[in-house]
Amino acid sequence: MRYDAKDLEGLSMGLKAITKQTEQLATVVRKLEKAQAVEKRKARAETKTRKKAALKRKAAAKKAAERVLKIVKKSQKGVGVSALVKKTGLSEKGVRTIISKGIEHGKIMRIGWGVYAST
């Protein structure tokens, strides 16, 4: 097959157009990759922040449990939930949760209706 100058010129123009489109697509891909990298960094930072917050909450919960257990141990006749709420400043639900877990672990026992003592 023989190609004349017009055919070759047409092919050249077509190749230039395809090259230009390919370069544009490559630019778009690079921008998307950069955006994805930024999103990954943000996600990692958020994960670290969430983990730190979870550790702080866990430490705070442990301190609260220690305060409740200390009060329960000091009481000779036992202590009620309302007294624990007043003394610790925790919510009633929080105190009840701590008492429940203390009972499960054998550190607190129920000695009457809403009255708890140390084992």
Instruction: For residue 100, give the CATH number of its domain.
Output: 1.10.10.10
Using only the alpha carbons of the chain, give its radius of gyration. Answer: 35
Phi–psi pair at 111, nearest 5 degrees: -110, -5
Q: Which of 58, 83, 59 lies closest to 71, judged by CA?
A: 83
State residue 1's pLDDT score: 66
pLDDT number for residue 24 = 96
pLDDT digits (tens, 9 = 90+) for 46-104: 999 999 999 888 888 888 888 888 998 888 888 988 999 998 888 899 899 989 998 89
The owner of tokens 């930024």 is: 38
Please count the structural domains in the chain.
1
Please tell me which residue, 30 or 2, carries the higher pLDDT value. 30
DSSP SS3 for 106: coil
| Domain boundaries, position 28 | 5-118
Q: Say how far apart CA 92 and CA 94 lie, in whole Å.
A: 5
Q: Three-state SS for 117? A: strand
